[in-house]
Amino acid sequence: MITVLKNGATAEQRDKLIKWFEQQGLKVNVSVGEFQTVLGLVGDTTQIDDELVGSLEIVETIKRISEPYKRVNRKFHPDDSVIDVNGVKIGGGNFAIIAGPCSVESKEQIIEVARGVQAGGASMLRGGAFKPRTSPYDFQGMKAEGIELLEEAKADTGMPLVSEIMNANHLHLFENIDVVQIGARNMQNFELLKAVGKTDKTVLLKRGLANTLKELLMSAEYIMAEGNENVILCERGIRTFETYTRNTLDLSAVPALKELTHLPVVIDPSHATGIARMVEPMAMAAAAAGADGLMIEVHNNPAAALCDGKQSLTPEQFARVAEKVRRIREAMI
Amino acid sequence: MITVLKNGATAEQRDKLIKWFEQQGLKVNVSVGEFQTVLGLVGDTTQIDDELVGSLEIVETIKRISEPYKRVNRKFHPDDSVIDVNGVKIGGGNFAIIAGPCSVESKEQIIEVARGVQAGGASMLRGGAFKPRTSPYDFQGMKAEGIELLEEAKADTGMPLVSEIMNANHLHLFENIDVVQIGARNMQNFELLKAVGKTDKTVLLKRGLANTLKELLMSAEYIMAEGNENVILCERGIRTFETYTRNTLDLSAVPALKELTHLPVVIDPSHATGIARMVEPMAMAAAAAGADGLMIEVHNNPAAALCDGKQSLTPEQFARVAEKVRRIREAMI
Amino acid sequence: MITVLKNGATAEQRDKLIKWFEQQGLKVNVSVGEFQTVLGLVGDTTQIDDELVGSLEIVETIKRISEPYKRVNRKFHPDDSVIDVNGVKIGGGNFAIIAGPCSVESKEQIIEVARGVQAGGASMLRGGAFKPRTSPYDFQGMKAEGIELLEEAKADTGMPLVSEIMNANHLHLFENIDVVQIGARNMQNFELLKAVGKTDKTVLLKRGLANTLKELLMSAEYIMAEGNENVILCERGIRTFETYTRNTLDLSAVPALKELTHLPVVIDPSHATGIARMVEPMAMAAAAAGADGLMIEVHNNPAAALCDGKQSLTPEQFARVAEKVRRIREAMI
Amino acid sequence: MITVLKNGATAEQRDKLIKWFEQQGLKVNVSVGEFQTVLGLVGDTTQIDDELVGSLEIVETIKRISEPYKRVNRKFHPDDSVIDVNGVKIGGGNFAIIAGPCSVESKEQIIEVARGVQAGGASMLRGGAFKPRTSPYDFQGMKAEGIELLEEAKADTGMPLVSEIMNANHLHLFENIDVVQIGARNMQNFELLKAVGKTDKTVLLKRGLANTLKELLMSAEYIMAEGNENVILCERGIRTFETYTRNTLDLSAVPALKELTHLPVVIDPSHATGIARMVEPMAMAAAAAGADGLMIEVHNNPAAALCDGKQSLTPEQFARVAEKVRRIREAMI
């Protein structure tokens, strides 16, 4: 960590700051230049509060050389983490596809979709029971009943379940859910992160719509700092000025996260683009970029439904995407 | 609400959709053009799920003419809401300044700052006890103890208190806090919004870092839909590409929100800019733009503290800002 | 085109507007609802100025159903355009890799790099002679001399040349340059677009850092409206809040542009990421997403140079990337 | 300037880099830490290419302590620049309002508006003759004829003229235009900047839609580096995710630019908001924030025009805004 002092800093102010750093257990290298003084801090700077130090009157700027996260950091954990979700492995060369409907709607729907995606190549089933919606008047999910229907689909197919949690007080309902998902809007809901960090459930953490990769990693660190090491990261599109797609899928997040962390990285092309016909090219691109898995929205489109969802695939379309992704992955070896 | 159908939509598909809209209690005006069919929906469209309709195969685009929010909407509540916080009024011509430290640090600090800002023109005291931090290793606030110290400052000065809540399970601790603040990162923590909506406490809702005004209003609607009408909106800077200031203060939010809603609008120039010397010009500009109040960070800077915080004012500096703001408001009459 | 009138619009105002639309050669379908009146405009609305109509006092909102661009529009030109650059085809299934150094530095450098990338699989040579730089004090390129060196490399290898133009008055220097590049910062330099539109040179048009795909297409339309149909679009990363990569590569632009236009789409992973080791995964992902070509920065790294450029590959690294891309493309058939 | 070397940098690589810095005339302070080596560069670092140094294999990061701009820098020119535009002063306490129509449409229009805004308090007349438009099919301005009509309005009222230039080859047409405006989309059209930098005309440089203040200053530096010191900066709204206003006016740019540069700063609330009724509060806020002037769109709304433009004021509305701004400015003394 480098701290550059302002020109006007007095020797007394400087010494006070150096002493304070030393009290935090750091070694301080002082380099006095003609125009500025640079303090190089050596030791465990994780506990140092960037904002606090940066806000000091005498500090021109601070710059971290080492990252403020530890447990998620690849530097201290060079090998890929492999996460075992009830027998399904992800990370370290293990590729997994999570598929299913945006919302659980009925027993028939979820069982039919579950069987369909399993046949098409998915290894985990997703389904929303608690839905975060911008409007209080929009459908908020089937809640506890939706969880029960997911459990029936798991009993039927044996697939591990992925479902979003929005409230730590609901954790008891998620006992049979194998992976709890933290949605993009809750990425910095630190209280929820701490709560799932106290469990041993696998957490699928989605990147917020306007968050940096570093912020995503700091949120994963919140979970791991509580003792839970089973974290999967998910890029699901960020907010940009483009309006043709719902969000903009940031595929460079895949190689970037692979450098920064040992955690598995999953791509959600359905939410990122919001357009069913763009799921196939983006799923293939994600695989080519080195992702550890995909999360794809699939709906069974029964006659009762008005029409296809804009971003959902049918099980048949899903099977074709999964096959193309498989071919891309073979070409990469 | 206007729904434009795709060229390829069949008469059967169209009629099915029209019938569904009618089942939702809407009247449907059909306008068949050469190249597209437009459905004009008349009635209460608040309950219609934009995303669902927009995702239908046969729908080219949908466009709301009336907003999806009701209780926050100025159209249905033309007069400004005046919120009475334990005797301090805000909105409808009543201007209030909330001031205090970012974090409560000690009894001496909070009492001294409280007295200082009261003397300088503040009518409410803010102080953070629970602090949302990007890093799990950064200082997270004094928590329950911080709340107690705020209560002592209230007993001393009589000023109503404003403090951030991050977890609905903490609500019992906030009994004597007059205004609970929902921070920017929790603006779409819908579970927390619903929880404070079930109380009768005034809620100060901060706009998220990358959220639109419409999203802010939808979050306020979550609170009001639960029955709590005491909501104050706060613009505190949005994320842009500019790096000189911490965030970018969007002052056009003031006249924009004044058109859209009857709720009071407060500006936080301290968090928006992150630079103490920019608080004065931005506070003056906020008043000139028609804001109902300000939220300003003030620290007492005791000898024990290393230095001034970068974005905090001293009580003396605060008094000067308050005086300049007063003069601007007089010039507006 | 749909025009929704405000509630308060009088019959007289409405009729005046309808008459004006009819004078522009459009047929107007009027749909009078309880709360609003909708005008559906049928005919060639390309010439209608969105902003002008949207700014009218009585207009609530306007919505284009058909796009404001014609010549770039796939609707009016369903087949992929295949552009022939001096014998090298791109588009319609023809994949081309453009490679070379950011700046031309010397004869030895450009000849060595040209031979290297040709051996590695590139079919066109890029090299900057005029360099757009944020600072007037940074190196601005070798200018006319750089163009001459490129010509020598072309004579040596037979590869067509790609080089950026910043000033229409320089066009005479680009006589032997096969593809003139319009950089991201000049994407909306409409005078330059018109100038290259008057030539018959192939134009490689880069998307601006904060521009939408529609804006990119409108800029391409500027070129085509002047008569030049040889336009290649290039996505090179957009500005987002992420700081790990220089910009954020928007690969969903590939399938999106493929839907909207018949023009070839090229991806520049070097400028998008700014990091050499991320060029390989992003080039592979671009191919998997369906791009028609790549633009990759390659430097020969002679002993005289201080070190490797951060985003440049060596010819050897480039050859490996090209081979991996070839394998991905084979897996897609 | 601080250069932090990577852990793996060899002594040989380090010494080579230090030698190169010394050849550029800089003094290098080396601070060897346990985990990294920091080079502090002392001297004129303006000529150092950040991107080049940052891209070196052995460099972890670089950080400028002093800014890469000189002529625009307040550090080297502590007093406010006062620019005299044909008798009208701006900067250093001199406040000027520029007003007029978006486009010159006819002699009657421009003369009537000119007289109206002069009576209302404007001291310069703006009018567009060359209009940058996203679509090649939208109205591109009256061009040379528009310039002539502006000259007639100047002859009539004596007001100095402000008009946008898009092409350096048009400079001869701007002989009687007192201030040439560089539009937001041309902010980084470096060739145009250099061309106007070679004249002695006052240049009003608008900030690009997604550009930082530093980039704006670098573009101003391009003009000044050619010898032209008469530069006025203009904030006209930046692109954000907000859709209620056309762009987001960044008023913190006023105090920020006042710290960084001695050049006058003008605010354009009309283009920033795109909504006439928001011009008044934003103009007042701009004055309260310390701007040196305003640029406001005013139209005379003759019977022949369909309706009011959405963002234009009538001369009467303009006069009221100017009066309110005057009152705000008085309250600031």
Please tell me which chains touch C, using 3 or more CB pairs under 8 Å as the contact test. Answer: A, B, D
CB-nearest partner of C331 from A242, A251, A327: A327
Q: Is-contact B141 B152, C-beta < 8 A?
A: no
Shortest distance between the Cα of C42 and any Cα of chain B, in A, equals 7
Q: Do B248 and D249 touch (CB under 8 A)?
A: no
Q: Alpha-carbon torsion A174, A175, A180, A182, what sign? A: positive
Q: Alpha-carbon torsion A185, A187, A191, A194, what sign? A: positive
For position A149, what pLDDT does the model report?
98
CB pairs under 8 A between A and D: 53
* pLDDT tier at A237, thresholds 50, 70, 90: very high
Q: Do D278 and B332 touch (CB under 8 A)?
A: no
pLDDT at A302 over 70: no
Dist. CA D204–CA C186, nearest whole Å: 19
D15 contact C CB<8A:
no
Dist. CA D311–CA D304, nearest whole Å: 18
Residue A22 or residue A94, greater confidence: A94
Instruction: Write the pLDDT tens digit of every residue in A179-213.
Output: 999 999 999 999 999 999 999 999 999 999 999 99
* pLDDT tier at C33, thresholds 50, 70, 90: low
Q: Do C167 and D191 touch (CB under 8 A)?
A: yes
Instruction: Write the pLDDT tens digit of every residue in D210-226.
Output: 999 999 999 999 999 99
pLDDT at C329 over 60: yes
For position A168, what pLDDT does the model report?
97
Q: Do C40 and B40 touch (CB under 8 A)?
A: no
* pLDDT tier at A285, thresholds 50, 70, 90: very high
Which residues 260-319 of B are in CB contact (within 8 Å) with A?
A: 306-311
For position B9, what pLDDT does the model report?
82
Instruction: Write the pLDDT tens digit of every residue in D237-265.
Output: 999 999 999 999 999 999 999 999 999 99
Paired strand residues for D96 = D293
C332 contact A CB<8A:
yes
For position A218, what pLDDT does the model report?
97
A47 contact B CB<8A:
yes
Q: Do D35 and A65 touch (CB under 8 A)?
A: yes
Q: What is the DSSP track for C63-102?
A: E-SS-S--TTBGGG--SPP-EEETTEEEBTTB-EEEEE-S
Dist. CA C29–CA B198, nearest whole Å: 48
3-state secondary structure of D271: helix
Q: Is-contact B134 A216, C-beta < 8 A?
A: no
Q: What is the DSSP letter of B8?
A: T
3-state secondary structure of A51: helix
Block residue for tokens 């391409």: C220
Q: At a CB cut-off of 8 Å and minimum separation 6, what does B159 contact?
A: B114, B118, B122, B123, B124, B125, B153
Which residue in B44, B164, B188, B297 has the most chain A C-beta atoms within 10 A of its own C-beta, making it the best mutation to test that interface? B188
Chain B residues lying within 8 Å of A134, measured CB to CB: 188, 215, 218
Q: What is the percent of chain A where pLDDT is above 90?
A: 72
Shortest distance between the Cα of D158 and any Cα of chain C, in A, equals 30
Dist. CA A24–CA A271, nearest whole Å: 44
Give CA separation, A24 vs A19, A48, B103, C249, D31, in Å.
9, 8, 21, 41, 22
Mean pLDDT, to the nearest integer, of A283-305? 85
Q: Which residues of chain B have pLDDT under 70?
A: 33-36, 65, 301-309
Dist. CA A172–CA A199, nearest whole Å: 11
Q: Do D190 and C133 touch (CB under 8 A)?
A: yes
Q: What is the DSSP track for B51-84?
A: HHHHTSTTEEEEE-SS-S--TTBGGG--SPP-EE
Q: Do B139 and A55 touch (CB under 8 A)?
A: no
Please tell me which chains touch D, using 3 or more CB pairs under 8 Å as the contact test. Answer: A, B, C
3-state secondary structure of B126: strand
Residue D238 or residue D23, greater confidence: D238
Dist. CA A221–CA A170, nearest whole Å: 22
Which residues 151-210 of B are in CB contact (within 8 Å) with D?
A: 210
Q: Is-contact A186 A192, C-beta < 8 A?
A: yes
Pull the structure tokens for residue A281.
Answer: 């090219």
Shortest distance between the Cα of A210 and any Cα of chain D, in A, equals 10
CB-nearest partner of D42 from A34, A40, A42: A34
Give CA separation, A53 vs A65, B276, B311, D210, in Å.
15, 15, 12, 30
Shortest distance between the Cα of D32 and any Cα of chain A, in A, equals 8
What is the 3-class SS of A162-176, one letter each residue?
EEECCCHHHHHHHCC
Q: At a CB cut-off of 8 Å and minimum separation 6, what does B206 contact?
A: B181, B182, B183, B184, B187, B234, B236, B268
**Chain center to CA of D6:** 38
Q: Residue C124: phi, psi to the nearest 5?
A: -135, 155
Mean pLDDT, to the nearest integer, of C253-258? 98
CB-nearest partner of C241 from A212, A255, A272: A212
Among chain A residues, the shortest Cα distance to D3 is held by A2
Q: Alpha-carbon torsion D38, D44, D46, D47, what sign? A: negative
Mean pLDDT, to the nearest integer, of D263-272? 97
Among chain D residues, the shortest Cα distance to A247 is held by D241
Of B290, C245, C42, the closest CA to residue D279 belongs to B290
Dist. CA B33–CA A30, nearest whole Å: 76
CB pairs under 8 A between A and C: 125
The mean predicted confidence, pLDDT, of chain D is 92
3-state secondary structure of C1: coil
For position D35, what pLDDT does the model report?
62
Instruction: Write the pLDDT tens digit of every residue in A23-62.
Output: 888 888 787 766 667 787 877 787 787 777 877 778 887 8
For position B323, what pLDDT does the model report?
98
Mean pLDDT, to the nearest integer, of A111-116? 97
Q: Do A136 and B222 touch (CB under 8 A)?
A: yes
Question: What is the pTM assigned to this prediction?
Answer: 0.91
Q: How many CA atoms lie within 13 A of B210 on its CB side?
A: 17
Shortest distance between the Cα of B73 and any Cα of chain C, in A, equals 17
pLDDT at C297 over 90: yes
Largest Cα span, chain C: 78
Dist. CA C57–CA C55, nearest whole Å: 6
Which residues 62-81 of C are in CB contact (within 8 Å) with D?
A: 68-69
Q: Do A63 and D60 touch (CB under 8 A)?
A: no
Among chain A residues, the shortest Cα distance to C286 is held by A285
ipTM score of the complex? 0.90
For position D108, what pLDDT does the model report?
94
Q: What is the percent of chain C where pLDDT is above 70?
A: 96
Pull the structure tokens for residue C272.
Answer: 């998008």
pLDDT at D33 over 70: no
3-state secondary structure of B19: helix
* pLDDT tier at C78, thresholds 50, 70, 90: very high
pLDDT at A80 over 70: yes
Chain B residues lying within 8 Å of C65, measured CB to CB: 4, 35-36, 60-61
For position D63, what pLDDT does the model report?
77
Chain B residues lying within 8 Å of C31, measured CB to CB: 29, 31, 38, 40
Q: Do A290 and C281 touch (CB under 8 A)?
A: yes
Dist. CA B262–CA B281, nearest whole Å: 26
**Helix orientation angle between B190-197 and B213-225, rounded to the nearest 10 degrees:** 40
Dist. CA C23–CA C17, nearest whole Å: 10
Mean pLDDT, to the nearest integer, of C245-249? 96
Mean pLDDT, to the nearest integer, of C272-278? 93
For position B43, what pLDDT does the model report?
79
pLDDT at A305 over 60: no
3-state secondary structure of C198: coil
pLDDT at C305 over 60: no
* Beta carbons within 10 angstroms of residue A114's beta carbon: 30
Instruction: Write the pLDDT tens digit of every residue in B47-93.
Output: 787 777 877 778 887 877 678 899 999 988 999 999 999 999 999 99
Of A83, A52, A98, A128, the closest CA to residue A224 belongs to A83
Q: Do A286 and C285 touch (CB under 8 A)?
A: yes
Q: Is-contact C282 C297, C-beta < 8 A?
A: no
Q: Do C252 and A240 touch (CB under 8 A)?
A: no
Rounded to a whole number of angstroms, the distance between the first and last alpha carbons of chain C is 39
Q: Do B244 and D213 touch (CB under 8 A)?
A: yes
For position C225, what pLDDT does the model report?
96
Which residue in D5, D30, D38 has the most chain A C-beta atoms within 10 A of its own C-beta, making it the best mutation to test that interface? D38
Q: Do D255 and B278 touch (CB under 8 A)?
A: yes
Q: Is-contact B159 B126, C-beta < 8 A?
A: no
